[in-house]
Amino acid sequence: MKVQVDPERCQGHTLCAMIAPNMFQLSDIDGTSSAVCDVVPPDQEELVLEAAHSCPEQAIVIDLHNNSSVVSNGHGLPSQSMP
CATH assignment of the domain containing 56: 3.30.70.20
- Please return the burial class of 81, using the count of CB atoms within 10 Å of its CB with bins 0-12, 13-18 and 19+: exposed
Give CA 25 to chain center in angstroms: 11
Each residue's pLDDT expressed in tens, for the chain with a length of 83 residues: 999 999 999 999 999 999 999 999 999 999 999 999 999 999 999 999 999 999 999 999 999 875 555 565 444 444 444 44
Total domains in the chain come to 1
Supply φ then ψ for residue 76, to 5 degrees. Answer: 85, 5
**What pLDDT, on a 0 to 100 scale, did the predictor assign at position 80?**
44
pLDDT in tens, 13-24: 999 999 999 999
| CB contact set of 54 (below 8 Å; sequence gap of 6+) | 15, 16, 19, 72, 74
8-state DSSP, 75: S
Residue 58: domain span: 2-82
Determine the pLDDT at residue 64: 87
